[in-house]
Amino acid sequence: MEMRNILLKEVKLSASLLSFLFIPFGLMFLLPGYPILCGVFFVTLGIFQSFQNAREANDMVFSALLPISKRDVVKGKYLFTCTIELCSGLLMTLAVALRMTVFSDAAVYRSNALMNGNLFALGMAFVGFGLFNLIFVGGFFKTAYKFGRPFVGYIIAVFLTIGIAEALHYIPGFGFLNAFGMEYFAVQLLLMGLGVVFYLAVTLLSYQKACKRFEKIDL
């Protein structure tokens, strides 16, 4: 089954409406005086609702009965998850672009004690999404049914990551992580790139492991 049809099956038959309604939480990157990386958690919470919806509807059994391979079933879940994450990531990128240009000197952002909306923050958002794919989605395919423990594990990991990211710029010598506008642009771009690489690497790793695990599961 081609990728488009696999994704359409997820969207039309398995997805929860909340997964789409939570995409705009990426715009939390525009909020001053708020831990903006929490937007990552809310987006993934919406995706979690689709997994819960799929489980209650016996979607995994239904998918396994279709004339597709088990690998395609796993691929569908990852394609859907990544699509939602990237849609929200696009909104985060737009918010960061506005904060680095139009609003770079806005007093409400300059006086903000929390993380600034810059390329480092965007890179950390992709780290958060990568953790979701690795811990939750990968963990779900250990059984293709139980998701409570993987989700709790993800919550712990993502909020530890948020806490560390928020605290780093207070450490002497790391103030550049909270740069405004185009300050330290090259470093910021490098850090964002590392976050994206982490996202791609752990998602691919998680997908490969999930395929192997799902092949062994007797539905």
How many whole angstroms separate alpha carbon 149 and alpha carbon 189? 35
pLDDT of residue 43: 98
Tell me the residue length of the chain.
219
How sure is the predictor about 219, in pLDDT bands with cuts at 50, 70 and 90?
Answer: low
How many whole angstroms separate alpha carbon 147 and alpha carbon 138? 10
pLDDT of residue 6: 81
Which tens digits make up the pLDDT trace of 38-92?
Answer: 999 999 999 999 999 888 877 777 777 777 788 888 999 999 999 999 999 999 9
| CB atoms closer than 10 angstroms to residue 209 | 16
- H helices of the chain, in order, are 3-9, 17-21, 38-56, 59-65, 70-100, 107-110, 119-131, 138-140, 148-168, 185-216
Range of the domain at 17: 3-216
**What is the DSSP secondary structure assignment for residue 169, as one 8-state letter?**
T
What does the block give as tokens for 62?
């239904």
Which tens digits make up the pLDDT trace of 94-115?
Answer: 999 999 999 988 999 988 889 9
**What is the DSSP secondary structure assignment for residue 184, as one 8-state letter?**
T
| CB atoms closer than 10 angstroms to residue 216 | 8
Block residue for tokens 């919470």: 45
The answer to whether the beta carbons of residues 55 and 145 sit under 8 Å apart is yes
Q: Which residue has the higher pLDDT, 171 or 2?
A: 171
What does the block give as tokens for 64?
């396994």
What does the block give as tokens for 112?
């903000």
Report the candidate in 219, 214, 182 with the shortest Cα–Cα distance to residue 75: 214
- Give me the number of domains the chain comprises: 1
How sure is the predictor about 25, in pLDDT bands with cuts at 50, 70 and 90?
Answer: very high
Q: Which residue has the higher pLDDT, 60 or 153?
A: 153
Amino acid identity, position 10: E
Tell me if the pTM is above 0.75. Answer: yes
How many whole angstroms separate alpha carbon 213 and alpha carbon 139? 10
Which tens digits make up the pLDDT trace of 154-206?
Answer: 999 999 999 999 999 999 999 999 999 899 999 999 999 999 999 999 999 99
- Check whether 11 has a pLDDT greater than 90: no
pLDDT of residue 41: 97
